Amino acid sequence: MCDCCSVEKEKDIYLPEPASINACRMLNGTEMYMHIGLDSGKPLGHAPGQFVEVSVAGIGEAPLTVASSPTQSGFELVVRNVGRVSGAMHGMTAGHKLGIRGPFGSIYPVDEMKGRDLVFICGGIGLVPQRAFINYVLDNRSDYGEVVILQGTKCYADRLFCDEVAEWCARDDVQLLETIDLPDKQWDGNVGVVTTLIPKIGVDLKKAGVLVCGPPIMYKFVLMSLMEQQVPMDHVFLNLERRMKCGVGKCGHCQINGLYVCQSGPVYRYSDLAGVPEAI
């Protein structure tokens, strides 16, 4: 056999791989959780922060960030019902088939942050991309310093992964602070936007790695709060996943000036975006 025959064929970035839904459930009124496995049995090969293109036969495809750590079997997605593809996925159950392209995009600084304290600031569905890195850190706990998770949600009914958040909160090696924007009779915790939690952080923010993901309006105020705390810009990482479309830089949907988010992002160091105010 010649050498070229013994080398695995390079993955075609335009060709979806068949995959199956192993389990799914609603997390709240709009978000569905799915656990998926490639039919080949191979791991997805992603790193925290990356995304995949998910296709539904006869309907189309959409980019979704992987919600799970590569330390776990299979991979997980969270799907908000907002369009034709996501709507079709919400009608699926275990055993249904999907097409998967990827993984694509940049990753969270999993190696750079080893030995350092980490602060995750999550707003609403922004918990989903962060969850991949959080669980990666917890599965490699001795490699990292203190772990602080700030989770803000618009209302009590919209909270995600409630059981898992409670498990993180119960750990003695995690500081978890949670808030909701609107008061609710079922909630006796902090009420207010996620920035109200920043002064309560129990680590030195100037030395920590800070990971931020949430709705666009959140970024402005979180970054203002971090700059008031004199956090260096190159210690802050932002996720711009909302900009993605085709995944390979062809459609131009993700372009922000000279940046193609699906290629150089979706995870960016804040200092690299300082000259691109349109990105935030």
Q: What is the mean pLDDT of each run of 10 residues along the chain (280 residues)?
A: 47 89 97 98 96 95 96 97 94 98 94 97 96 98 98 96 96 97 94 95 94 92 94 94 64 68 83 76
Query: Are 38 and 100 within 8 A, CB to CB?
Result: yes
| β pairing state of 209-213 and 236-239 | parallel
Q: List every span in the chain annotated with CATH 2.40.30.10.
A: 9-104
CA 222 to chain centre: 17
Rounded Cα–Cα distance for residues 105 and 86 (Å)? 21
Residue 4's pLDDT is 43
Residue 270's pLDDT is 92
Task: Assign a CATH topology to domain 118-279.
Answer: Rossmann fold (3.40.50)
Residue 8's pLDDT is 44
Query: Positive or negative CA dihedral for 258, 263, 266, 268?
Result: negative
Residue 247's pLDDT is 65
State the Cα torsion 156-162-167-168 to the nearest 10°: -70
Task: Assign a CATH topology to domain 9-104.
Answer: Elongation Factor Tu (Ef-tu); domain 3 (2.40.30)
pTM across the whole model: 0.91
Rounded Cα–Cα distance for residues 60 and 77 (Å)? 17
